[in-house]
Structure 1
Amino acid sequence: MTVSVTNHLNFRGDARAALEFYQSVFGGDITIVTYKDAQSVQVPSEANQVMWGQVAAKNGFRVMAYDVPSRMPWDEGKNAFFVSVRGDSDKEITALWEKLSVGATVAQPLAPSGWAPLYGMLKDRFGITWVLDVATQYKAS
């Protein structure tokens, strides 16, 4: 069983610049998937914003980020990050989801998505937002 936990930072239009900056500081590889890449454009002006991005370095540094769509509330002090948990199998992620979801508010039910075999988002009983998914290879710009 392999589970990793990564900081997932939320921005309003600055995710690409932030990821590029973090890469310049920590090194590593950058991956950016735009709303357009994921075929998830709801507001045309946000098509090239970051739906999911990551910087991963050989030294172990890893950070993920995205641009919160304008249709969703965002406040740097209230919705500044998620805790992202990525596993290797549906079974592994489902088991963790079931435990985390006790007393939680589900924002996105755990289910297959256009970018992952299994993805879900919830706010736990302590007010922490968790994103769980099954790891996959990303093909993006």
Structure 2
Amino acid sequence: MATVNVYLTFDGNCREAFDFYKSVFGGEYPYIGTFGEMPAMGGQETPETDKDKIMHVSLPISKETVLMGSDTGGEWASHYKAGNNFSVSVGAESKEEADKLFGGLSAGGQVTMPMADTFWGAYFGMFTDKFGINWMVNYDDPAKMQQ
């Protein structure tokens, strides 16, 4: 059975927002990383203005729920709009389930990132469905996550 969480996108104030959420919910970040810490994509270095922005943060807020987020930057920044700055994040239990969910939910919508293996070790993709809802599908392969 897949898990479903909310993924929030910010315009440069993700760390501030998540520090606030953490002050309310408590807990610790299992992961928080900046764009400056990630490897160059397609030979392009991260612009100085984006290096301190949050690439990904997660904050468990219950046994079942993780609040996740990032800042927007680079080519994605022009798409930021308060009100559409969230996605439903689905965690699949297998690569096959991820492909099935991605294919089914993205039908008639707009794929923004096809399912693919990522530098952080997950199998991941993003799209906006035919109703205008942003989705992310993720499968963390236990064999790859242990490397």
In the superposition, the TM-score normalised over structure 1's length comes to 0.86
Moved more, 98-107 or 41-50: 41-50
Q: Does 1:49 align with 2:53?
A: yes
The Cα of 1:17 is off from its aligned counterpart by 1.1
Q: How many residues align?
A: 136
| Residue aligning to 2:39 | 39
Q: Does 1:69 align with 2:73?
A: yes
Residue 51 of structure 2 aligns to which amino acid in structure 1? Answer: A
Give the distance between the partners of 2:93 and 2:15, measured in 1 at CA.
Answer: 27
* 1:116 corresponds to which of 110, 121, 138: 121
Q: Does 1:97 align with 2:102?
A: yes
| Residue aligning to 2:111 | 106
More helix by share: 2
Is residue 116–residue 133 contact of structure 1 (8 Å, CA) maintained in 2?
no
The Cα of 1:104 is off from its aligned counterpart by 1.2
Deviations 1:29-80 (A, max 9, x none): 2121211222255312211211111111345452111001143221102x31
Moved more, 4-13 or 31-40: 31-40
What SS does structure 1 have at the residue aligned with 2:102?
A: helix
Is residue 116–residue 134 contact of structure 1 (8 Å, CA) maintained in 2?
no
In the superposition, the TM-score normalised over structure 2's length comes to 0.83
The Cα of 1:5 is off from its aligned counterpart by 0.8
What SS does structure 2 have at the residue aligned with 1:20?
A: helix
Give the distance between the partners of 2:121 and 2:2, measured in 1 at CA.
Answer: 16
Give the distance between the partners of 1:111 and 1:59, measured in 2 at CA.
Answer: 28
